Copies of this chain bind each other. A is one copy, B any other.
Amino acid sequence: MKEEVQREAKRLLANAAIVLVRPKFAENVGSAARTAMNMGIGKLILVAPELPERDRMLKLATHNAAHLIDAIERHDDLAAALAPFGWVIGTSARQGKKRSTCKAPRQLMSEVLPRLAENRVALLFGPEDSGLATEELRYCNQVTTIPTADFSSLNLAQAVAILCHELHYGLLELLAGGELNPAPRQAEKGELEAMFAHVEEALLAVGFLKNEDDYWMRSIRHFLSRIGLRAKEIKIIRGFCRQLLWREGERSGAARPPGAKGGQSLNR
């Protein structure tokens, strides 16, 4: 590979992160740090109540990836961890009915790689024993399953290595062909979450939803997550929500919601 290709790959992969949800073994976190270092992935993020023991992580990270261990970003919940990401790839070993359409990592690359130019991209992995929960897969724009023979459950550290390799090598190949057409900036998961809160508030106000955590709200969430909304489209949806809330407020004679200005709903 030419040097400029490697340099450009490194610049783009700085936008990628490995996100581990409640990993059980410190050694797997260490391995993930080493893989991140090997493949030029910019960041390692943990969703866990606390950081694993540093020495156990370092043993597998080796001193070469020690700086990534020291820079681990820890979050209590997944929504906070994913807030700045515009594209999330979830991993699943399960072959349940709902997941029969899961693509192999390589089949996602033509979609994922161009997003690295304008978006932060997360590779999301669940706990060693249970994988990502259905609720957690809702944050994902795409879900992938690494193809296996009889025994589908890969060790976490190996799954991380294979997915990061597919990302890194796929990008090298794409750049060597000189074909990266940057995909536009997606809305970040944090913007999406704020929008969902707004949508839920509006749908409750107009009586479409009966209570919070409604079945329909989960379906709407799923749908709006999957289609990959852009920042501008979120602005439109939220403007519409604000308008609904304003109308309801007027109807019930209450004061306007703070920040709402009636017809100027797109200015938010």
Chain A residues at the B interface, C-beta cutoff of 8 Å: 1, 6, 9-10, 13, 31, 34-35, 37-40, 60, 64-65, 104, 106, 146-155, 157-158, 161-162, 165, 168-169, 172-173
Q: Would you call A38 and B165 a contact (CB within 8 A)?
A: no
Q: Would you call B38 and A151 a contact (CB within 8 A)?
A: yes
Q: Would you call A149 and B106 a contact (CB within 8 A)?
A: no
Instruction: Name the B residues within 8 Å of A106 (CB-CB).
Output: 169, 173
16 additional contacts, CB 8 Å, given A38-B148, A148-B168?
A: A1-B147, A10-B149, A34-B151, A34-B154, A34-B155, A38-B151, A38-B152, A64-B153, A104-B169, A146-B165, A147-B169, A149-B168, A154-B161, A155-B157, A158-B158, A162-B165
Q: Would you call B1 and A151 a contact (CB within 8 A)?
A: no
9 contacts between A and B (CB under 8 A): A9-B149, A34-B154, A38-B151, A38-B153, A40-B150, A106-B173, A148-B168, A158-B158, A158-B161
What is the bound-complex CA distance between A13 and B150, given in angstroms?
A: 12
**Minimum distance in angstroms from A49 CB to a CB of chain B:** 25
Instruction: Name the B residues within 8 Å of A154 (CB-CB).
Output: 34-35, 38, 161
Instruction: Name the B residues within 8 Å of A173 (CB-CB).
Output: 106
Closest 10 CB pairs of A and B: A40-B149, A158-B161, A38-B148, A37-B151, A162-B165, A64-B151, A161-B161, A38-B154, A38-B151, A10-B149
